[in-house]
């Protein structure tokens, strides 16, 4: 399973999904994290540049390019949540906590 989560420099879940500086794309196989890639997305700066639709398109492109199946977030705007749900992605709201632990817990959830 491929999951993504915004992460702080301290390895915690970042509460700013659409304004995240860094995203993790993690692969979990049989309950173990088998791949952990940090992506410096710069959405914190890019969020207020251009039109809002452009920013959503940027996030959608990231999700598609990384073949994300499950999205973890502490907070995200309703329009972004709607867009990701329409993409067929599984959305999991998590607390601000260790990002690796959040990924492990979210990967253990049954689909649907």
pLDDT tens for the chain, residues 1 to 112: 999 999 999 999 999 998 899 999 999 999 999 999 999 998 765 566 666 667 678 899 999 999 999 999 999 989 989 999 999 999 999 999 999 999 999 999 987 5
The range of the structural domain enclosing residue 73 comes to 2-108
Tell me if 3 sits within 8 A of 107, measured CB to CB: yes
CATH code at 100?
Answer: 3.30.420.130
Give residue 56's pLDDT: 78
Domain count within the chain: 1
What is this structure's pTM?
Answer: 0.90
Structure tokens at 84: 């990701």
Distance CA 43, CA 9 (A): 15
Scanning the structure block, which residue is given the tokens 């039109």? Answer: 51
Give residue 48's pLDDT: 61
């Amino acid at each position: 399973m491929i999951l993504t989560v915004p992460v702080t420099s301290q390895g915690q879940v970042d509460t700013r999904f659409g304004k995240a500086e860094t995203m993790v794309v993690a692969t979990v196989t049989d309950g173990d994290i088998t791949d952990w890639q940090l992506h410096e997305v710069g959405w914190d700066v890019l969020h207020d540049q251009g039109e809002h639709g452009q920013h959503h398109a940027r996030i959608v492109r990231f999700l598609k390019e990384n073949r994300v199946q499950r999205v973890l977030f502490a907070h995200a705007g309703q329009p972004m949540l709607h867009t990701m749900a329409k993409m067929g992605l599984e959305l999991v709201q998590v607390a601000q906590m260790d990002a690796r632990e959040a990924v492990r817990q979210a990967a253990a959830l049954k689909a649907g």
